[in-house]
Amino acid sequence: MNQVRGMQWVLKRSFIGSRIIKSCLAAFVTAFICQALNWPPLFAVMTAVVSIENTSVDSVKKGLIRFPASAIGAAFAMLSEDLFGRGALTYGLAASLTLILCYKLKLYDGMVVAILTAVAMIPETYGHYLDSFIIRLGTTLTGITVATLINYFVMPPNYKKIVSRKAEDLTRKTARLIQVMLEPPQGKAHNARLRHMYQECNKTLETSFKLIRFQRSEWRYHFHHTHEIREITYDQRRFEQLQKVMYHIGNLIYSPVNLSVYNEEEQAHIRYFIKILAQKLVEGTTNRETQKAFEEGLQKIDALYNSIVSEQAKGENGHHYLIPQQMILYELLSIYEIIELNDVCSESAKKRFKQHS
C-alpha cells in the first residue's frame, strides 16, 4: 500500500503526464501486435506515438487524415525506389512529392507521418512492392487504431482542474498588473517588464480558452455530470471577464501615459482607487466597510473625471480629443464597470457559485 501511494506521489509531482504515459503504452501495445503478426513495428510505433492527441475526438479526426496521407507517402516511396533505386534522389523525390500532394489535398495533420513513412520505408523495402505497400498500410492503421483506443479508454483527458487553477492564477496576475500599470517608469526596463507581464497574461487566456474547447469536445464521447458542465461554464465566464479587463489594461500599457500627469492629491485618489479595484477583482465585496470604502473612492474618481471633462470643454483651442488625464480615468472606470456588472472572478463570487451548485 505504501509503495502504491509512493508511486502516485511521484507521478503527481514529476514531469510524467498522462499524455506521456499513454504514448509509451501505445508504443508498447502497437509493437507487441506487430510482433505477433510478424510485421515491422517501425511505422506502427511511429504513427501510434504521433496519434496521441489532446482529446479523443482529435485522435479520431486526425487518424482519418493520417491514414490516407501515409498511403500517399508509401506509394511515392515505392514509385521513387522503382524508378531511381536507393539514392539521395529517391529520398528527396519521395519526400517532396508526398509533401506537395498532401498539401494540395489539405491533409495537413498527416504531413509529418506521411513524410516519415515515405523516407523510412525506402531502406526497409524487400520483396514485392505491393506486399510491402499493403504491410505498411496495415502497420500504420494498427498504430492509429491503438492510439485512438488508448486515448479514449485509458486516462481520458480532463482539463477541469487545470482550467480552474489557471483562472485563479490569472485573476491574481491581472490584479497585480492593475496595481503597477500606471506607476511612473523606474528605468528603461519598466515598460518592457509591464508589456511582458501583459503578454504572458494574454497567452494564459488563449491557452485556457483552448483547454475549455478541448474539455467540451471530450464530453461528447464520455459520461459527465451536470455540475462539471456548470464548473467549466463558470470558469469560461471568468476568463471572458478577465479578457475584457485585459483589453483596457492593454490600452494603458501601450499608451505613453502614467500618473505623473496628475498632481499629488489626484495621484493619491487614483492610487487608492486602483488598490481597491484590484482588491475587488480578487476578493469581491466581502463586507459593508469594504463596499463603503470602494464607493467613496469611486465617487472621488468620478468627480475628478467630470472635472477634467468640463475643463476640457471650456478650452479655447476647440479640441475635444481624449487627453491623458481623461484617458486614464476612462479606462479605470471601464475596468470598474466590467468587474461590478459581471463579478465572477472574486472569492465571494466563487462562494455564491458553490452554494447554487
| pLDDT tens-digit map of 222-235 | 777 788 888 888 89
Band (pLDDT 50/70/90 cuts) for residue 212 is very high
Task: State whether 167 and 147 are in the same domain.
Answer: no
pLDDT of residue 9: 46
Instruction: Evaluate whether residue 5 is within a structural domain.
Output: no
| Band (316; pLDDT cuts 50, 70, 90) | low
Q: Does any domain span residue 7? A: no
The residue to which cell 479578457 is assigned: 243
Q: What DSSP character marks residue 303?
A: H
pLDDT at 38 over 80: yes
Q: Which of 44-48, 53-57, 235-239 has the lowest mean pLDDT?
A: 53-57
- Return the pLDDT at 130: 76
Q: What is the DSSP letter of 124?
A: G
Query: pTM, whole model, 2 decimals?
Result: 0.77
Query: Which of the listed residues 97, 130, 153 is the one where a domain comes to its end?
Result: 153
Domain limit, last residue, from 153, 181, 197: 153
- Looking at residue 184, the DSSP 8-state letter turns out to be P
**164 shares its domain with 135:** no
Angle in degrees, 0-180, between the axes of helices 189-218 and 226-253, rounded to the nearest 10 = 160
Number of domains present in the structure of the chain:
2
Residues 219 and 324 in one domain: yes
In a domain, 330, yes or no: yes
Residue 11 lies in a domain: no
Same domain, 182 and 330: yes
- Say whether both 144 and 190 belong to one domain: no
State how far the Cα of 322 lies from the Cα of 234, in Å rounded to an integer.
Answer: 36
Of 73, 66, 68, 71, nearest to 98 by C-alpha is 73
- Domain limits at 54? 18-153
If you ran DSSP here, which 8-state letter would residue 323 be given? -
Average pLDDT over residues 257-271: 87
Q: In the chain, at which residue ranges do the beta strands (DSSP E only) sit?
A: none
Q: Does a structural domain hold residue 4?
A: no
Amino acid 200: pLDDT: 95
Exposed e or buried b per residue across 295-313, where buried means at least 16 C-beta atoms within 10 angstroms of its C-beta: eebbebbeebbeebeeebe
Considering only 110-119, 163-172, 240-249, which range has the smallest mean pLDDT?
A: 110-119
Q: Pick from 137, 153, 169: which residue ends a domain?
A: 153
One domain for residues 149 and 200: no
* CATH code, 322: 1.20.58
CB 265 within 8 A of CB 227: no
128 and 192 share a domain?
no
Q: What is the DSSP string of 13-56?
A: HSS--HHHHHHHHHHHHHHHHHHHTT--SHHHHHHHHHT--SSH
Same domain membership, residue 272 and residue 127 = no
Task: Report whether 219 contacts 152 (CB < 8 A).
Answer: no
Same domain, 235 and 270: yes
The verdict on 173 and 109 lying in the same domain is: no
User: Is 10 part of a structural domain of the chain?
Assistant: no
- Would you say residue 38 lies in a domain? yes
Over residues 252-275, mean pLDDT? 88
269 assigned to some structural domain: yes
DSSP-derived 3-state class of residue 222: coil
Decide: helix, strand or coil at residue 230: helix
Same domain, 298 and 169: yes
Whether residue 113 sits in one domain with residue 50: yes
- Find the farthest-apart pair of alpha carbons in the chain and give their distance in angstroms, rounded: 92
- Mean pLDDT, rounded, for 327-354: 78
